Structures are given as C-alpha cells and as structure tokens.
C-alpha cells in the first residue's frame, strides 16, 4: 500500500529537520580544515606571501635553488609550484597576489645587487622591475591586480623610506608618504585604498597604522585612543587589519580590525592569548596568529570572524610534526595560506582548505529526500 503524505506535512518535516541540523551545528561550532604542506621536493624550507583564488605565493630555498631564496607560485599543492626567480636574480620572494599578478622583490646582477620591487604574471620571464629612478632599494608587498604597493628608499627622498604605489611600471610610482612622516610603508591594496604605517614628529616617532586613498594627503590615521603604536597589514573591501599595543591592551600586542577610522577598531585578541597579530582579511574574515597560555606560548595560526570570541585555532589541523604556525593570507573562498614550523626549526608553507560544514551535507541530503518523497506522491 502506497502511503500518502500531504505536501504541507512534507514541507513542515523538511524545515523542522533544517532547523534542528543548523541549530546543532551552530551550537557545536563545528569548523574543520584540511592542511596541505606546500613545501616542494628539493626545498628545505618555504614561507607564504599571499593567496588569491586557487593560487598562493611565497618563497623557498634548498638544493633546488642552490640554497638561495626563490619566489614561488603554487596552485594548491607542493608539486604545482612555479619558480618565479628571474634570470639575473640571485634571490627573490613573492609577498602578494591578486588575479594573475604576483608581487615581491629580488636582487642580483640585473639589479646591481640592490633589492628591487618586481611584479610577475605567472612566470619568471614575465617580471617587471618597479624600482623608480632615484631609489636605491624597493619592495612590493601587495597588489589588487592592476596596482602595486610597497616601499622604497634612496637619495631622491633624502635616504628615508617611503610608502609607494605603482601602476605597472617604475615611472608610474606615487609617493604616499604623508607630510610630517619621514618614514612610511605600504603593505596591501584593495580597490582604490592602501594600508600600511608610518612614523615621525606628527606621531611622536611612534608607528601609526595608516589608510590611503591613492595619494599622500588622503591618508587617515588609524591609531586608536589608548594605543602607543599600531600598524596595518591587510585590506579588503571596507576592512583593514593589523595590530597595536598601549594602555588599552595592557601593554601587550593585540590583533586589530578597523572599518576606515581609528574609533572603529575591534580588538581581536582571544581569551587565553597574551598577544596576537592580524595579517590579512577577505572582507569578512581575518587571519593572523597569537600566543599565550592556551597555546603553550607557541605561535598558533588564527582565523577570526570579526570578533575576539569568534575565532578558530588553525594549529589543531596540522600534524604533530609542527610545533607552531602563522597565517598570512585568506582568499574570498575561505582558503588560508600561512606557514608551520617543524621540530627541526624549518618553516613549511601551508594551505588550509575549509571542509564543508556538516550542516551543508545534511541540507543537501534533505533536499534530495524531499524531492524523492514528492515524486513518490505523484
């Protein structure tokens, strides 16, 4: 005998199970990640720079590089790496990525032995030297896919270090250093905005986190009240992240999140952590690291979801071979790149990939069951 269930009852059952499933997962706070070791064969150590989509950048060294640091581009696995070290460069490193563009710096005969900012488009031969005329040294830390940010120093700026913004060539650079700041650095860019830090008489020679909108005089000082110093390292959308310390933090270094102004800051330092730092954001989540009694005073890579009490210790997803870790970048899809240090003291670039939450699997299964029950009624 074929049992009939009314459409209304089917809908009631379906949504009751959804509420129970989502409620169970929410209460348990279930979040899981797969950790992938990106350290390639022939490399003793490697370190991350950034992540965009399915690609990661950083650097590594070992027998494969003659013991020198080489900029690397990965596509989700150790074996997928591309050596970006250009011809005429002894060493290089990649610090940022967006879309098809990677940025960093390197030195060798091609640069007169000085460190020069460079960007690539997926191969060593594609590199462009960004070092401006009048600058002895430079380095690029971040890109939004068309613009590059970093810093440089040389005779043209009196031997100081200035935050720089490029638009794809050495001659296109914009000096972002604000008036009253002899020194500044830019670390990340998103849309039309850039973040970093600077110091000088205007800050009583203490580092202050800075937010720019493409020019030196557009800067916003993000240093919050109660902080002796601060710096910003990552930006995406309306969010900026970094760290700082002062009376507001009991003198300990705390990870910080801003939304465009000093008074918008959120202290991300989790309970049980003495100190922390935020390195990157994808606009909704933030990553970095922290240490304290809860970590045995070892650095642990941390993922935040906008507040101190909503975070995930990423160290738990690593094998026991690794004693400490830090997270440096997070992509829009939630993939995280960082490094972990093994018991021998070597760093390995690590990719953390989120595992779909159990609720997703339950909802998919219930959707299939609902469809099957409906078919049986017809």
Q: Considering only CA atoms, which of 115, 122, 129, 131 is closest in space to residue 69?
A: 115
From the number of C-beta atoms within 10 Å of its C-beta (0-12, 13-18, 19+), residue 342 rates as middle
Per the CB < 8 A criterion, the answer to whether 374 and 8 are in contact is: no
pLDDT of residue 31: 75
As to burial, measured by CB atoms within 10 angstroms (0-12 exposed, 13-18 middle, 19+ buried), residue 160 is middle
Distances (CA, A) of 155 to 114, 152, 186, 201, 369: 14, 11, 19, 21, 71
Say how far apart CA 326 and CA 249 lie, in whole Å.
21
Are 132 and 148 a contacting pair, CB within 8 Å? no
Residue 164, strand partner residues:
150, 175
Domains of the chain: 45-377 (2.130.10.150)
Q: What is the distance between the alpha carbons of residues 302 and 277, in angstroms, rounded to a whole number?
A: 9
* C-alpha dihedral (246, 250, 254, 257), degrees to nearest 10: -70
Encode the chain (378 residues) as per-residue pLDDT tens digits. Answer: 444 445 454 444 444 433 333 333 333 345 799 999 999 999 999 999 999 999 999 999 999 999 999 999 999 999 999 999 999 999 999 999 999 999 999 999 999 999 999 999 999 999 999 999 999 999 999 999 999 999 999 999 999 999 999 999 999 999 999 999 999 999 999 999 999 999 999 999 999 999 999 999 999 999 999 999 999 999 999 999 999 999 999 999 999 999 999 999 999 999 999 999 999 999 999 999 999 999 999 999 999 999 999 999 999 999 999 999 999 999 999 999 999 999 999 999 999 999 976 544 444 444 444 444 444 454
In the prediction, which pLDDT does 122 show? 98
Query: What is the spatial distance between Cα 80 and Cα 36, in angstroms, rounded to a whole number?
Result: 12
Q: What is the reported pLDDT for 8?
A: 52
Q: Which long-range contacts (CB under 8 A, 24 or more apart) does 352-358 make?
A: 352/33, 352/34, 352/35, 352/36, 352/301, 352/314, 352/317, 352/327, 353/33, 353/34, 353/36, 354/31, 354/32, 354/33, 355/32, 355/33, 355/34, 357/25, 357/30, 357/31, 357/32, 358/21, 358/25, 358/30
Dist. CA 209–CA 229, nearest whole Å = 8
Classified as helix, coil or strand, 177 is coil
Task: Give the model's pLDDT for residue 358.
Answer: 57
CA-CA distance, 252 to 267, in Å (whole number)? 12
């Amino acid at each position: 005998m074929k049992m009939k269930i009314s459409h209304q009852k089917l809908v009631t059952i379906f949504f009751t199970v959804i509420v129970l499933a989502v409620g169970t997962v929410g209460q348990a706070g279930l979040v899981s990640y797969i950790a992938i070791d990106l350290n390639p064969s022939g490399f003793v150590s490697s370190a991350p720079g950034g992540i965009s989509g399915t690609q990661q950048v950083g650097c590594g060294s070992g027998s494969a590089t003659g013991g020198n640091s080489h900029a690397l581009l990965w596509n989700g696995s150790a074996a997928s790496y591309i050596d970006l070290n250009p011809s005429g460069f002894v060493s290089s490193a990649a610090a940022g990525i967006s879309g098809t563009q990677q940025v960093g710096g390197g030195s060798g005969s091609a640069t007169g032995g000085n460190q020069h900012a460079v960007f690539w488009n997926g191969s060593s031969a594609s590199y462009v030297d960004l070092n401006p005329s009048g600058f002895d040294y430079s380095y690029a830390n971040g890109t939004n896919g068309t613009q590059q940010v970093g810093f440089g120093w040389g005779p043209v700026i009196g031997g100081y270090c200035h935050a720089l913004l490029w638009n794809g060539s050495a001659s296109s650079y914009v000096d972002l250093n604000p008036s009253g700041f002899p020194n500044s650095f830019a670390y990340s860019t998103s849309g039309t905005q850039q973040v970093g830090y600077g110091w000088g008489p205007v800050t009583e020679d203490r580092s202050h986190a800075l937010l720019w909108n493409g020019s030196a005089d557009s800067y916003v000082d993000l240093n919050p009240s109660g902080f002796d110093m601060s710096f910003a390292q990552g930006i995406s959308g309306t969010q900026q992240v970094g760290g700082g310390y002062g009376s507001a933090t009991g003198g300990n270094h705390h990870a910080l999140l801003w939304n465009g102004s000093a008074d918008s800051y959120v202290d991300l330092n989790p309970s049980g952590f003495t100190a922390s730092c935020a390195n990157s954001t994808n606009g909704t989540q933030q990553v970095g690291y922290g240490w304290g009694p809860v970590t045995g005073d070892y650095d642990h890579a941390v993922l935040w979801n906008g507040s101190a009490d909503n975070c995930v210790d990423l160290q738990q997803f690593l094998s026991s071979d690794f004693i400490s870790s830090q997270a440096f970048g997070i992509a829009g899809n939630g993939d995280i790149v960082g490094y972990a240090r093994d018991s021998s003291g070597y760093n390995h670039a690590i990719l953390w990939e989120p595992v779909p939450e159990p609720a997703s699997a339950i909802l998919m299964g219930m959707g299939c069951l609902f469809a099957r029950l409906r078919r049986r009624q017809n």
